Each structure stands twice: as structure tokens, then as C-alpha cells.
Amino acid sequence: MKKSPIGAAGRRGRSVRRTLVSAAVLAGALATTVPAAAAARPYDDRSLLRRDAAALTALGVTGVQARLVTADGRTVTATGGVADVTTGQPVSPDGHFRIASVTKAFVATVVLQLVGEHRLSLDDPVERWLPGVVSGNGNDGGAITVRHLLQHTSGLHDDYPDYSSADDFRRHRYDGSTPEQSVDRALRHPPDFRPGADWRYSNTGYVLLGMIIERVDGQAWYQEVRDRIVRPLGLTHTFRPGTSPTLPRPHARTYQGFRPGELPVDVTEQVGLGINGEAGLVSTTADLDRFLRALLGGRLLPPAQLARMLQTVPVGEEFQALMPGARDGLGLFSRPLTCGGVSWGHEGGDAGWITATGVTADGRRSVTLSLSGVRADTPDDVRRIEQAESQLVDDALCGAPDTDHRRR
């Protein structure tokens, strides 16, 4: 996995998104809200997106690409920084990137499609589909349901691996892991809490969901994502690279500092430590926008299953500190918008990348942001990057002051 957005609390301890969460907790609550979008702001959508992208590169982010799709179908893009610090190549608005925990939204959609087909129930215990897999050290697959896994309320420990140093990264960048290895790491620990009693981000839950999808439908989770989502929507740049460490062109290179003050290392080429449903997909901003609009627009799930996806619970304190007002549905998170209502989406972060997504509740306006070469060594770094990222998403979804969306 990858860090999620919400990522964060879930991923590698030193990965960028996890670093953001840890620092946020140390710093206390960050900004309580994104500054309200002033009605007198004399900018249009393109100017807003470019301004907000520039604010991120000004904070030291190596590369930024953002894509907004408006309610009338217009596409607005903005890029900033460089795709390669050696050559100075500009960032492409169509670059590929590892979407990390945004993968969870795809997995959750497949699970809810199976629920709509009456082949699976949200109340099914894990033990029904994976007998004997979740047991030991107080872990009980008979007490954990599919809904618990989707909503991070299972209590399963999230023991996600991490590279301890640049040398460790170089030694293990091509290793990858199997679902069984990921689950085994988590089950070496007792549960964090009784199923349903609390909320804590757990990549382990989505690894198990990937295994359940295969048991129910006979195909790997990523094949089901391909057949049920990617192909029907024409997401021609969304795929699971598996054990391939490279990305298709165009793509930005990304960089990670493994310890505060260290020079960043190019970590673009790697298999990744999470490729089993908790993360594992590559995509583009255009494909992610199309997916989100289709999902919230009712094209991927029947009304009953979409309504279940959007039933939320409060997130834990760590996430509240990082993302004030966030709530967790089934594979999607909601956040309040300064113009009213909420946005829906998922974030991901891993090895220098951060992905942020958002779509309005009616599915008519969406934005995807990809950052490469993100560094956040101090709580102040965290605060500034998170505020700038949130500002871009909020501005994009609320729209320029003279848009129809703001007037509604």
C-alpha cells in the first residue's frame, strides 16, 4: 500500500504520506478549514488552478500536475515544476503515476458491485470467504465483516513495511510482496480494537478484500477492476504493473528523502511494497477524473450500493488532525467544501508521490492532483503542503466566483 490520503496513516512509516501524518500529530491540529473562497476573487478556473499549482511548487514540490473537469465537460489542466531534476524536462499534464491508496476506491467499487449482484454481503464475515486466514493473536475472521474491512473498522493491525534508508531502498526496491505475506505481517500483532468499536486506517483490510474478490469471482482483484471498471469506462492508461518497476511515458520522476536533511533519492523505478489491493495501480489525472465522475454519477453502482458507499463514520484523531472534517465511507472519504456540501475522493501517497482526488456529490465536477518529489521534514512543512493541496482541491470543486456551480 500506499499511503493514502488519506493516505497516510496507512503507509510506510517513512513514506511521504506517513511522514505527513506523523508530523501533523506532533504539530497538533493543522488548519481547521481551507480559507473560504472569497466571492470577490477575480479569477477563472484556469487562473485558480495555475495559481494553486504554483503555490505547491513554491513549497519545494518537484513536479505538479492537476486536471479539473467542469460541470459542462470542459477540461482545465495546470502543471508546475519539472519532471526530471537532471534534465529540467517540464511536467506533462498527461503523465502516468502510481496512484497508491486511490486503488482502494477501485477495489471498493468492485466489492459493492458484487454486493449488488447478491454474490456477497457487506455483513459476511471474513471467515466465510477466507476460512482460517484471519486467526491467531486474538484476530478472529469470524467477527470481522466485509463492511469492517471497507471502512477501516476491523481492528486489524496495519503493519505496513518501510524502507529504513536509501541503501535499504536500493536493496529491496524490486522485491514486492504477496497478499499472504502482507496479511501474515499484520496477524503477528493482536488487533488494535474489537471489530466495529473504533476506526483506524488499515491497508491489511484491502489486501483481504482483494483476496475475497478472487474467491467470489474466480479472478484476481485487478482483473476484476479491469473488466468491470477500466474497460467499460475506457480508462486506457489505468493498469496494474505488477512486478514491473517502470512506468510508461510520459511520467515525472519522483524523489524521496529517507531522513530529515538528507538529499532526496530518485525512487521512480521500483516494484512497490504494496501491490495487492491496498495499492498497486498506475493511472493518469484524466483517467481518475473519469472514474470519479462515473462513480458519483451512478454509472458504476446501482443506487442502493452507491448510497451504502456514501454512508460515513468519523475518522480517527490522526486523520482529523490532517484532514479536518473528513469522514470515511466505503472506499471513499468525504470532506467539507467552503462553498457548501462535501467532496468525495481518496488520496494516496508513496515514495515521493502524493495523489489527491475530489468530485462533487453530483459527479459533475472533479479534480485530480499528482505531486512528485514531495518533501516534508518538519510540522511546518506538513502544514504548508497540506493547506496548499487542500486549497487547490477546494478551489477546483467550488469553482471560480462566476461559475454556475458556485451560484447553486
pTM, rounded to two decimals: 0.91
Percentage of the chain modeled with pLDDT above 70: 87
Tell whether the model's pLDDT for residue 355 goes beyond 60.
yes
Q: Which residue in 344, 356, 230 sits closest to 285, CA to CA? A: 356
Tell whether the model's pLDDT for residue 125 goes beyond 70.
yes
What is the reported pLDDT for 406?
Answer: 45
What is the reported pLDDT for 321?
Answer: 80
CB neighbour burial string for 98-129, b if at least 16 within 10 angstroms, e if fewer: bbbbbbbbbbbbbbbbbbbeeebebeebbbbb
What is the reported pLDDT for 348?
Answer: 92
pLDDT band at 401 (very low <50, low <70, confident <90, very high): low
What is the reported pLDDT for 102?
Answer: 97
Q: Which residue in 202, 204, 217, 206 sits closest to 113, CA to CA? A: 217
Q: Which residue in 150, 151, 288 sits closest to 230, CA to CA? A: 288
Q: Identify the CATH homologous superfamily for domain 8-35+94-373.
A: DD-peptidase/beta-lactamase superfamily (3.40.710.10)
Q: Quick one: average pLDDT of 337-361?
A: 93
The per-residue pLDDT for range 60-99, each reduced to its tens digit, is 999 999 999 999 999 999 999 999 999 999 999 999 999 9
For residue 199, give the amino acid letter: W
Residue boundaries of the structural domains of the chain = 8-35+94-373
What is the reported pLDDT for 359?
Answer: 98
**Mean pLDDT of the chain, nearest integer:** 88
Tell whether the model's pLDDT for residue 315 goes beyond 90.
yes
What is the reported pLDDT for 27?
Answer: 35
Judge whether 85 and 79 are in contact, CB under 8 Å: no
The per-residue pLDDT for range 289-304, each reduced to its tens digit, is 999 999 999 999 999 9
Q: Return the residue matching grid coordinates 504493473.
A: 241
Q: What is the DSSP string of 311-378?
A: --EEPPHHHHHHSTT-EE-SS-EEEE-TTSSEEEE--EEETTEEEEEEEETTSS-EEEEEEES----S
Judge whether 218 and 246 are in contact, CB under 8 Å: no
What is the reported pLDDT for 335?
Answer: 95
What is the reported pLDDT for 159?
Answer: 77
Peptide bond into 250 cis (omega under 30): yes
